[in-house]
Amino acid sequence: MSVYEGFSKQQLIIRKKEMEQRFSCYRKQNLKLDMSRGKPCSEQLDLSNAIFEYNGDFITEEGCDCRNYGLPDGISEMKKIFAEILGVGSENVIVGNSSSLNMMYDTFVRAYLFGINGCEPWGRLEKVRFLCPSPGYDRHFAICEQFNMDMITIPMKEDGPDMDMVEELVREDELIKGIWCIPMYSNPTGAVYSDDVVKRLAGMKTKAADFRIFWDNAYAVHHLYEENKILNILDECQKAGNADRVYMFASTAKITFAGSGVAAMASSLDNVRQIKEKISIQKICSNKINQFLHARFLKDYDGIRAHMEKHAKILRPKFEAVSDILSRNLSGLGIASWTTPRGGYFISLDVHEGCAKKVVEKAKEAGVTLTPAGATFPYGRDPNDRNIRIAPTYPPLEELKSAVEVLCICVELAVLEKILQD
């Protein structure tokens, strides 16, 4: 529908004055509300405090003393848990410390310095290009930017990236070395990759022999409602004759503790062998005590499923509140649309073209901090200045409701100012 369809200019002027009055009331309250990052709230973190309730020894099932050196690729108990999360064999898993982003970064560094499977190191090439489905995760893009890579924006659809565009690009350009993917409840749209998208990613022809899929399965078990499943990318790559194409990543950051969880990556056996050779020089061991405590606490996939249902009970009311407030305030005006994800940590809001930055600025004036407009696109530039990432998880419910009410007012003000000025 058209923007403010059926409204006369005089009605728009009156509505703008109403919004200005409401905005002024909120600004006088000196609010300090933060929806800028997808962090777990304190209630979620409290769910895992029992990890520390342990007085036994720290001997693994392999007989390794976790307090000592050894096992730089992680303990077998934690490998088994991540194998279940990612749908791979334990032998395909390498366990690290708390940050999967750190493991992604290290994977970039190895490709940059040493190359992949005998190919020229990325750092010796005149230029490297990377595919970035957008809206997407700003920290993925920051890694590419730090390594001075050209980022190519790929539009995100409801079932994953625009595969027609992806296939055409990788078929013709050997300097395109990879693609970022968040396949389950993608950040920020909440999209879940379809079977067709997974199969096409696994089987497509690439001019670069060292093309890699960075499969950041950060929200693999973060369901708000029913449990969703995606096709196993490693299996599909093996079936297509591209067994080494994918690096999979996951962590317990939003399962247990965001700052001190456990991360892991998985890949083909050949990739795992090469990575283990490199990390054996980089480190003697990871934090095996933390791995041991996590494995004891989570136990297995059934234990994770039960634990994540506790998370969902905390988060469902927050996501539903955001959806309800957006619908009550913005539906039928033609000025905004938003996703209603079934899991993950974000809601993606698209406002009238050319208004996202102004919305975020106005929200800041009223004491509501949002993710910067443009952050969900490479180089922080949204070509249409439309997308805003909403992170509902961290604020208490009542504060969240106030923040979203303010956001709706700011959306209307930004749009009304633009169309009346135009």
Non-local CB neighbours of 8 within 8 Å, separated by 6+ positions = none
Helix (H, G, I), strand (E, B) or coil at 122: helix
**Is the predicted pLDDT of residue 120 greater than 80, yes or no?**
yes
Query: For residue 389, what are the CA distances in angstroms to 18, 309, 323?
Result: 26, 24, 13
Yes or no: say if 163 and 186 are a contact pair by the CB < 8 Å rule.
no
Which residues sit opposite 94 in a β-bridge?
Answer: 265
The residue-averaged pLDDT of 95-116 equals 97
Query: For residue 419, what are the CA distances in angstroms to 4, 330, 373?
Result: 10, 16, 20
Yes or no: say if 404 and 412 are a contact pair by the CB < 8 Å rule.
no
Non-local CB neighbours of 53 within 8 Å, separated by 6+ positions = none
* Local confidence band at 1 (pLDDT 50, 70, 90 cut-offs): low
DSSP state of 382: -
**Is the predicted pLDDT of residue 359 greater than 90, yes or no?**
yes
Strands (E), 346-405: 347-351, 368-370, 387-390
When mean pLDDT is compared across 25-34, 74-83, 156-165, 169-178, the lowest value belongs to: 25-34
d(CA 136, CA 147): 18
The residue-averaged pLDDT of 291-308 equals 98
DSSP state of 49: G
Yes or no: say if 357 and 383 are a contact pair by the CB < 8 Å rule.
no
Full set of structural domains in the chain with CATH: 9-44+305-421 (3.90.1150.10), 58-299 (3.40.640.10)
The residue-averaged pLDDT of 278-287 equals 94
Non-local CB neighbours of 325 within 8 Å, separated by 6+ positions = 401, 404, 405, 408
The residue-averaged pLDDT of 189-197 equals 98
Rg (CA), the chain: 23
The residue-averaged pLDDT of 233-245 equals 98
The residue-averaged pLDDT of 293-305 equals 97
**Is the predicted pLDDT of residue 267 greater than 90, yes or no?**
yes
Mean pLDDT of the chain: 97
The residue-averaged pLDDT of 188-206 equals 98
The residue-averaged pLDDT of 99-116 equals 97
Non-local CB neighbours of 87 within 8 Å, separated by 6+ positions = 232, 234, 235
* Local confidence band at 39 (pLDDT 50, 70, 90 cut-offs): very high
The residue-averaged pLDDT of 298-327 equals 98
The residue-averaged pLDDT of 180-205 equals 98
Q: Which H or E element spans position 2?
A: none
The first and second tokens of residue 225, run together, are 């409602």
- Provide the 10 A C-beta neighbour count for residue 360: 23
Quickly list H helices, 191-230: 195-203
Strand pairing class (150-157; 129-134): parallel
Burial 83-100 (b: 16+ CB within 10 A, else e): bbbbbbebebbbbbbbbb
The residue-averaged pLDDT of 388-403 equals 97
Calculate what percentage of the chain has a pLDDT beyond 90.
99
Phi/psi at 58 (nearest 5 deg)? -120, 45
DSSP characters over 22-43: HHHHHHTTT--EEESS-PPPHH
**Distance between start and end Cα atoms, the chain:** 19
404-413, pLDDT tens digit by residue? 999 999 999 9
State the residue for tokens 């099932």: 61
d(CA 306, CA 316): 15
d(CA 93, CA 203): 22
Non-local CB neighbours of 371 within 8 Å, separated by 6+ positions = 35, 36, 37, 138, 360, 388, 389, 391
State the residue for tokens 């600004």: 27
In this structure, the chain runs to a length of 422
pLDDT value of position 160: 98
315-334, pLDDT tens digit by residue? 999 999 999 999 999 999 99
What pTM was estimated for this model as a whole? Answer: 0.96
pLDDT value of position 422: 84
Calculate what percentage of the chain has a pLDDT beyond 70.
100
**2 vs 161, higher pLDDT:** 161
Yes or no: say if 193 and 181 are a contact pair by the CB < 8 Å rule.
yes
The residue-averaged pLDDT of 115-130 equals 96
Non-local CB neighbours of 142 within 8 Å, separated by 6+ positions = none
